[in-house]
Structure 1
Amino acid sequence: MTPFTEDVLRVLKDIPPGVVVTYGQVARLAGSPRAARQVVRILHSMSAKYDLPWHRVVNAKGELNVPDEASRLEQRRLLEEEGVLFTEDGRVKLPQ
């Protein structure tokens, strides 16, 4: 495992319930601000194995960015259970 991957895993595990971050924010906190796509890859391939809070990470527009409808519904349900608010068009209300 690369040091960047280890840093991403650490950042992801530290996201508290009810807090949503973007892929870019995770990359920046892990020390590589231009590696948002790598964060997506890590989440996709390692979420189950490392029990990562995948549902707390969205794209820069606040959109749920998972490929299938069932996973998007699950992500929204999990976030709503944590008190996360959504806009009328289905985006997460990100802090300004």
Structure 2
Amino acid sequence: MTSFTKNVVEIILSIPEGKVMSYGQIARAAGSPRAARQVVRILHSMSAKYNLPWHRVINSKGEIGFQDEDSMREQVDRLEYEGVEVSPKNKIDLTEFGWIPDRHVQ
């Protein structure tokens, strides 16, 4: 596992319940600001293996990134269960529910 991948996994695992981060925020915190798409790949391929809270990761606009209805509904349900308010347009207020780690994981 590369150090970037390890950092991404650690950051995602550290997102507290009821908070969200964007793919780009995770990439920046992991040390590679332009690697948001790599964060998507890591999340997709390692969520089950590392029990990652994938539902706490959203796009930079504060929106649910899934296009298919079942996955979108599951993410919304999980977030709402944790107290995150999701608008009818599947948008999340990042000023209220966004999370910024105290420090970069290195």
TM-score (norm: length of structure 1): 0.94
Q: Deviations over 1:21-51 (max 9, x none)?
A: 1000100110111110000000011101100
Supply the AA of the counterpart residue of 1:27.
A
Cross-structure match for 1:34: 34
Supply the AA of the counterpart residue of 1:49.
K
In 2, the alpha carbon distance for the partners of 1:56 and 1:88 equals 18
Sequence identity, in percent?
58
Q: What root-mean-square deviation, in Å, do the aligned CA atoms of Structure 1 and Structure 2 show?
A: 1.2
In 1, the alpha carbon distance for the partners of 2:20 and 2:78 equals 11
Runs of 4+ in structure 1 displaced over 4 angstroms?
none
Cross-structure match for 2:58: 58
Q: 1:67 to 1:46 in 2, by over 3 A?
A: farther
What aligned pairs does 1:1-96 form with structure 2 within 5 A after superposition? Answer: 1-95=1-95
What is the DSSP-based 3-state SS (H/G/I as helix, E as strand, rest coil) of the residue aligned with 1:95? helix
For these two proteins, the number of residue pairs brought into alignment is: 96
Structure scoring higher RCO (CA < 8 A, sep ≥ 6) equals: 2
Unaligned stretches of 5+ residues in structure 2:
97-106
In 2, the alpha carbon distance for the partners of 1:88 and 1:52 equals 26
Q: Deviations over 1:38-86 (max 9, x none)?
A: 0000001110110000000000111111242111100000000000012
Unaligned stretches of 5+ residues in structure 1:
none
